[in-house]
Amino acid sequence: MDTPSSKTSTTHAVGELREWLGERLSTAPAVREQHGKDQTWNPGAPPDAVAFVKSTEEVQRIVATCAKHGTPVIPYGTGTSLEGHFSAPFGGISVDLSGMNRILEVNAADLDCRVEAGVTRKQLNAHLRDQGLFFPVDPGADASIGGMTATRASGTNAVRYGTMRENVLNVTAVMANGEVIRTGSRARKSSAGYDLTRLLVGSEGTLGVITEVALKLYGIPEAIVSAVCPFPSVEACCNATITAIQMGIPVARIELVDAEHVKAFNAYSKLDLRVTPTLFLEFHGTDASAREQAETFAAIAEEQGGGPYSMATKEEDRQKLWQARHDAFWATRSLMPGKEAFATDVCVPISRLAECVTQTQADLAANGLYGPIVGHVGDGNFHVVLYCDRQDADEVRRVKEVYGRMIERAIAMGGTSTGEHGIGTGKRAYLEREHGGALAFMREIKRAFDPKNIMNPGKSAAL
């Protein structure tokens, strides 16, 4: 596969793009740095220029220009991803899609909509609220729909509503040759041809630039009950979760918060929770069914030593609870001034969850590392935020070793190196361990779609 172009070729591409983008093509150092570095200790790399686009046609023209010069194209949404997805190790043009923020259509009767890639999940749900609808995929950050699609995001509601994989009907994308395609129809199922939608969902910008997304929608539940339940151990939290899932309780959210996170929440979000491993839960349905689900889980929790169990039905109380959960990264970071964060996730079969979490905790303790754990435990996914002083070579070594063992542990248990953060630049080394010979076929797909290797090179399975 070709390597990305020289700086001379990129300079020519920048010059051509400036002729018609004008001030919407920025080479300012601060703008370039912002578009090349995420919020974690991934080193990042700035692009040569940032193009602020307003339409699919503009993206098409940019990609065509970059294809002519062999210049890399790096899609950028809101910059909330955590695995170096939008860094530019070979330079090139960052295509900022945040200005493509129109909601193009809502088909309430069919429970679907179509939006531009720069629409954020909060923007979409604010628009849908008056129609009694919502989009459930909630990664915590107010990410763009295009970015969530490209990284196959999920979040707190995935245990009931699924991930982006289950909720994207089709995408419009600009491919490496400058051609615009739509990958499917509004139909809920199809057996016509290859499933290009699922191929582009999770492709991390390495096959094309997603500019529009059609999504499934859901009716806002009649009743929502949230609950908090402390437990004596992380293992007890996990065992209660496993029992609830195996019993078929349609829990909408079930989030593990370890004791370190509870301590951080109390300080950062002004909560008053007991400092012990805790589950945050949410149940959707009618008044009767939501309460029945909550009460059934309370009985399960009691068998595992959990309690006291408290429920919240008022919206302001529920919002405060879930905002604290979404602020988990910032809450723990406030306790670790001067250290850099290294956020990561793995996912395992739910029957191995307690074992994987407790072994990871033991490894952290044995190496004297601060690594609070939080997770979407209903589907076996958990996150660790490792904190490290980059100037301390021994601590850096220990963090990297614990990180590697956690990923190897998850894969050995039949899991994956990442449940929702994606591969980006951070986890490419583990793809072969996880996929074996299938990785070669992923690379052949990359070559077929992008023979010049201009689409977000150096990420995921891209060479």
**What is the average pLDDT value for the chain, to the nearest integer?**
94
Question: What confidence score (pLDDT) does residue 387 get?
Answer: 93
Instruction: Report the C-alpha gap between 395 and 429 in whole angstroms.
Output: 21
Sequence-distant (6+) residues with CB within 8 A of 416 are: 346, 347, 348, 410, 434
What's the half-sphere exposure (Cβ side, CA atoms, 13 Å) at 225? 21
- Of 403 and 461, the structure prediction assigns the larger pLDDT to 403
At residue 342, the pLDDT reads 85
Q: How confident is the model over 123-177, as pLDDT tens digits?
A: 999 999 999 999 999 998 899 999 999 999 998 999 999 999 999 999 999 999 9
Strands 180-182 and 168-175: antiparallel
Handedness of CA 111, 117, 118, 121 (dihedral sign): positive
pLDDT, position 426? 81
For residue 3, the model assigns a pLDDT of: 58
Q: Judge whether 209 and 455 are in contact, CB under 8 Å.
A: yes
- pLDDT for the residue 30: 97
Residue 446: is its pLDDT beyond 60?
yes
CB of 127 closer than 8 Å to CB of 233: no
* DSSP secondary structure letters along 105-173: EEEGGGTEEEEETT-BHHHHHHHHGGGTEE-----SS--BHHHHHHTT---TTHHHH--HHHHEEEEEE
Task: Answer whether residue 2 shows pLDDT above 60.
Answer: no
Which range has the worst mean pLDDT, 110-114, 170-174, 240-244?
240-244
Residue 201 pLDDT greater than 80, yes or no = yes
Average pLDDT over residues 33-61: 94
CATH class entry, domain 7-97: alpha beta
What single DSSP character describes residue 4?
P
Quick one: pLDDT band at residue 43, thresholds 50, 70, 90?
confident
Q: Grade residue 74 by pLDDT with cuts at 50, 70 and 90.
A: very high
330-435 has CATH 3.90.228.20 classification = no
Q: Which helix (H) or strand (E) holds 145?
A: helix 145-150
Residue with token string 């952290």: 364
pLDDT band at 381, cuts 50/70/90? very high
As a whole-number percent, the residues of the chain with pLDDT over 90 amount to 86
Q: Do domains 223-327 and 330-435 have the same CATH topology?
A: yes
pLDDT at position 55 is 98
Over residues 256-266, the mean pLDDT reads: 94
pLDDT of residue 173: 98
CATH architecture of 223-327: 2-Layer Sandwich (3.30)
pLDDT value at position 42? Answer: 80
CATH class of 103-219: alpha beta
Burial class (CB in 10 A: 0-12, 13-18, 19+), 444: exposed
pLDDT of 354-364, one tens digit each?
999 999 999 99
Quote the tokens at residue 303. Answer: 């068998």
pLDDT for 4 equals 61
pLDDT for 343 equals: 86
| pLDDT of 338 higher than 80 | yes
Q: Give the residue extent of every domain in the chain.
A: 7-97, 103-219, 223-327, 330-435
* Cα-based distances in Å from 185 to 114, 189, 192, 213, 241: 11, 9, 10, 11, 37
Tell me the whole-structure pTM to 2 decimals: 0.94
Span 314-334, mean pLDDT?
90
Question: Predicted confidence band at 404 (pLDDT cuts at 50, 70, 90)?
Answer: very high
pLDDT of 439: 95
For residue 221, whether the previous peptide bond is cis, meaning omega lies within 30 degrees of 0, is no
At residue 253, the pLDDT reads 95
pLDDT band at 8 (very low <50, low <70, confident <90, very high): confident
Sign for the pseudo-dihedral over CA of 29, 35, 36, 39: positive
Sign of torsion over alpha carbons 121, 424, 98, 324: positive
Q: Which residue has the higher pLDDT, 223 or 6?
A: 223
